[in-house]
Amino acid sequence: MRIYAKVKSIGKRKPVLELQPFDITSAETLHELITQIVKHNVKSFNTEKPFSTYLLEEDIEAAYEQGKVGFKHKYNDAKQSEQAAIAEALLAFEDGIYKVLHGERELTKLDEPLHLQADDIFTFIKLTMLSGRLY
């Protein structure tokens, strides 16, 4: 089944990234959904091909619009642990670092049952912690 995820980060100029498709098996709970998405992302990260050593003009223009031009060089070639990434993602949800919406409905518990349908959209909102001083 194909679902879509979009990521928002509060306080960014462009808060919405494009929809990212995920092919998943059935997920009965939010815990299972997060686990499958993290597994997919870790697998993609660990098998990613090396980047080219040059930038095309359109790559530079697109990166300029985003605010950072670079080669996207990976400085650490170590493979990431799938289980550690899953544990980190679940802990971050429990700690309130990000929120998850299924359509317009907020999901608040990891063991909350999901009723998935093809082409459902899940929104992950990363919350920004504010800190500062009063002058």
How does DSSP assign 70-129, residue by residue? -----S--PPPPHHHHHHHHHHHHHTTSEEEEETTEEE--TT-B----TT-EEEEEEPPP
Predicted TM-score (pTM) of this structure: 0.71
Helix (H, G, I), strand (E, B) or coil at 4: strand
What is the pLDDT at residue 85? Answer: 94
User: Is 43 domain-assigned?
Assistant: yes
Q: pLDDT by residue (tens digit) across 29-82?
A: 999 999 999 998 899 888 875 554 556 677 777 777 777 776 665 566 678 899
13-27, 45-59, 85-99, 109-123: least confident range: 45-59
Number of structural domains found in the chain: 1
What is the pLDDT at residue 48? Answer: 73
User: Is 95 domain-assigned?
Assistant: yes
> How far is CA 47 from each of CA 43, 85, 96, rounded to the nearest angstrom?
6, 16, 30
Spatial contact of 124 and 99, defined as CB atoms under 8 Å apart: yes
What domain range includes position 15?
2-50+81-126
What is the pLDDT at residue 63? Answer: 75
User: Is 66 domain-assigned?
Assistant: no
Mean pLDDT across the chain: 80
